[in-house]
Amino acid sequence: MTIQDRRQEFRPTSGEAPFNLDEVFFSRTDARGGIESGNYVFRRVAHYEWDRLLGAPHKIIRHPDMPRAVFWLLWDTIKQGRPIGAYVKNRAEDGLYYWVFAVVMPNGDGYLSARIKPTSPLFRTIEKEYAALREVELTEKIEPEESARRLLARLAEHGFPTYAEFAAHALSEELTARDTGLGRPTDPRMDALRDTMGHAEALKTETEGLIRDFNAMRTVPHNLRVIASRMEPTGGPISTLSKNYGIMSRDMFEWFEAHVLGEDSNFSSIQSSVIQTLPIQGLSRLLNACDLQLTFERRKLGHTDLETEREILRNLVDAYKVEASKAISLVQDEARRILSACDTMERHVLGLSTTRVMCKIEGARLPKSGESLTDIIGQLKVFQDRISTRLDRIMHLGNEIRDRLG
């Protein structure tokens, strides 16, 4: 009798179905969610015979405690050809439950789902969120799409602006917790991506601060020209310098809007690139684990051929390895573009600083330069120093991102 058989024999009569941390299982479905195959761990934990599983809709293992919102988000994502990760509570044939972190991905004309046992602190948080949301679904009779909207709102309160960010973070947390629980070293590439995610968050914060600083500085060049017009005739040195400062500021603002603001900017792209890269790397790991699980099992999968399943898994692994490599290269490219953008902005700031100093010199030559001119020049220095400091931080983060994934 094998270890797996003994685990089946000692199955409890209530509570949680036995499912070890070192185990991973998968199932394949057609485009409508009908089960086409799976590995032995899937069958054992679900406690169904193959003739009951094969051809059945995957929702045969759905637990009534699960919020409908999760499945609405899942189908909405995979129908667009994108993978998705989610915490899922399932129900076995004998009524036992088991939690998984599942990653569902397109696979030919259907889908493949790979699952591991969740153990991270995040899992306990989501477990409570699911329970609360399911209660709302039952009491208020809300539709799945509305429930999904409320789930996304709750995730945003936990610091995840989008479901993609949440899923990427959750997969990373679960794989790291799994490695730790099994006494294994963590995956260095996943660690690098986790660090990069943190750098991308810090980069976003600094960029938002940079936007605030630029917006606060917008009116200063105009105020400088107004003051200059009161102090000297048109065409005087202060007026000329203030005009030049205004032109240079406008050019800088236009460049700033093109390269920093907006969803397609270098600064926005890097965070979305990291969010895309992390789950791809995690998917590659999960698929490798599924293939390894099959080599240990050496069992018949109903009417499904073992080697056929392994070939499918290996093809997916190869495909996602290529995707992961492309995604990492994209992040590095975005980091290099950010460094180039910061270099351009620093040259703009240097030009403004030079003009500001010249204004200060010319102002000192006037009989009565007035406190207003001194104040406005002082404001310019404060803004420029603040922008320069932020640019230094952004360049540091850009270097960290580029080098961490090198």
Q: What residue ranges in 51-141 does DSSP mark as E strands?
A: 84-91, 97-107, 110-116
3-state secondary structure of 264: coil
The burial of 165, by beta-carbon neighbours within 10 Å (0-12 exposed, 13-18 middle, 19 or more buried), is given as buried
Indicate the fold that domain 3-125 takes in CATH: Beta-Lactamase (3.30.450)
* Residue spans in the chain of domains classed CATH 3.30.450.20: 3-125
* Residue spans in the chain of domains classed CATH 1.10.287: 189-404
What pLDDT is recorded for position 260? 64
Tokens 């972190």 sit at which residue?
101
**In angstroms, rounded to a whole number, what is the distance separating the alpha carbons of residues 331 and 134?**
38
Q: Is 143 left (phi over 0), alpha (psi -120 to 50) or beta?
A: beta
Structure-token pair, residue 149: 């909207």
Q: What is the pTM of this model?
A: 0.79
pLDDT band at 195 (very low <50, low <70, confident <90, very high): confident
Give percent of the chain above pLDDT 70.
88
Structure-token pair, residue 205: 């914060």
> Shortest CA distance to 81 belongs to which of 107, 52, 58, 62?
107
Please determine, looking at this structure, whether the domain spanning 189-404 carries the CATH number 2.40.128.
Answer: no
Residue 301: pLDDT over 70: no
> Shortest CA distance to 218 belongs to which of 258, 250, 259?
250
pLDDT band at 328 (very low <50, low <70, confident <90, very high): confident
Residue 46: pLDDT over 50: yes
331-360 pLDDT, tens digit per residue, is 888 888 888 888 887 887 787 788 778 777
Q: How many CA atoms lie within 13 A of 273 on its CB side?
A: 25
Alpha helices, DSSP H only, in 112-219? 121-140, 144-157, 163-181, 188-217
Mean pLDDT calculated for residue range 237-257: 72
